[in-house]
Amino acid sequence: MLKNDSKWIKIISTATDSKNIIFLDSLWEGFMKYLENAVIKSINMLNDNVCDIKLHCPRVAKNACPGQFIEIYPDNGVNILSRPISICEADKIIGTVRVVFQLVGAGTKLFATKKIGDTLRILGPCGNGYSIGENSIESSVVLVGGGIGVPPLLYAAKSIIGEKTIILGYRTSPFLADEFIRYGNVFVCTDDGSEGYHGNVVSFMRENNISGDYILSCGPKIMLRYLSEYAVENSIPCQVSMEERMACGIGACVGCAIPIDVNGEVVNKKVCKDGPVFDCKEVIWQ
């Protein structure tokens, strides 16, 4: 209930030297976001436009779950707003979080210039994350990712014990796809046919009658919309991770609100706080 409440962020950010924080930490472990100066342990370009960073941030890592994201703050004094980036992997023992992101504008391009040993100020883990079935060992799960929506599914693939069908879509050259192989049956789709199935992920699913106990997905809105139609037609519960432009990233500005159907009533929900993961049947696709 208090997992994403911004008052806890304020407490953490203003009272990190206080002894009380230790009490609050243990009390709310698993419910809070942490501000950390995360040290870069590795940084690589996966291709010309996609950067892969591993950060040492033990408190964020310890509390992370698949489908959540972190906010990364640019430190150039010009770009003030944090940038939301999904957690691609979290190692709770070593205390690292991995993020994989596309170079889009000032923020992401700045992050990609960093070196090993530099720090990035981050806040996390943010958002609700996927609901992964308690009996995941007996489940058959379909993971569907598109483009830069692929990274968070790696963490999900790693965390689910049951049988996994993993369908990854790209415009052209795939990235990260090889890392999924050890977790399930992987199918790559490309728009230009340069690798794998020639076409989009939903066409692939239709042609191959892909089914499972539930679907977890992340990708462009148009992909999620067609996937949602497929899931409803085939009576497969489907969770979609929505992407909206964000400003505050902590539920304060309403900039990321989207209409959600709650028992027949349209309610504006914040992607950064109530999401990013929603039941596909609740999303009002526009």
Ligand X SMILES: Cc1cc2nc3c(=O)[nH]c(=O)nc-3n(C[C@H](O)[C@H](O)[C@H](O)COP(=O)(O)OP(=O)(O)OC[C@H]3O[C@@H](n4cnc5c(N)ncnc54)[C@H](O)[C@@H]3O)c2cc1C
Binding interface with ligand FES (CB under 6 A): 246-249, 251-256, 270, 272
Interface residue with ligand X, options 57, 85, 188, 216 (CB under 6 A)? 85
Residue among 199 and 255 whose Cβ is closer to ligand FES: 255
Partner in contact with 12, chosen from ligand FES, ligand X, none, beta carbon below 5 to 8 Å by kind: none
Q: Interface with ligand X includes 106 (CB under 6 A)?
A: yes
DSSP string, 210-223: ---SEEEEES-HHH
| 244 sits near ligand X (criterion: CB under 6 A) | yes
Backbone angles phi, psi at 213, to 5 degrees: -75, -35
267, β-bridge pairs: 260
- DSSP code, position 127: S
Give the closest residue to 59 by CA, choosing from 112, 17, 22, 101: 22
Strand order of the β-sheet with 89-91 is: 83-86, 69-73, 119-126, 34-47, 50-56, 96-102, 89-91
Q: Is residue 273 close enough to count as binding ligand X by CB under 6 A?
A: no
**Window 46 to 75, contacts with ligand X (CB under 6 A):** 69
- Binding partner selected for residue 108 from ligand FES, ligand X, none, CB under the kind-specific 5 to 8 Å limit: ligand X
Among ligand FES, ligand X, none, partner that 144 touches (CB below 5 to 8 angstroms by kind): none
Q: Total residues contacting ligand X (rule CB under 6 A)?
A: 20
Q: With respect to ligand X, which residue has the nearer C-beta, 165 or 241?
A: 241
| 101 touches ligand X by CB under 6 A | yes
Q: Is 102 in the site for ligand X (CB under 6 A)?
A: yes
> Residue with structure tokens 């497969």?
236
> CB of 272: closest distance to ligand FES in angstroms?
3
Contact yes or no for 195/175 (Cβ under 8 A) = no
- b/e string for 24-62 if b means 16 or more Cβ within 10 A? eeeebeeebbbbbebebbebeebeeebbbbbbbbbbbbb
Question: Least distance to ligand X from the beta carbon of 238, Å?
Answer: 18
Binding site for ligand X (CB under 6 A): 69, 81, 83-86, 101-102, 104-108, 148, 151, 243-246, 276
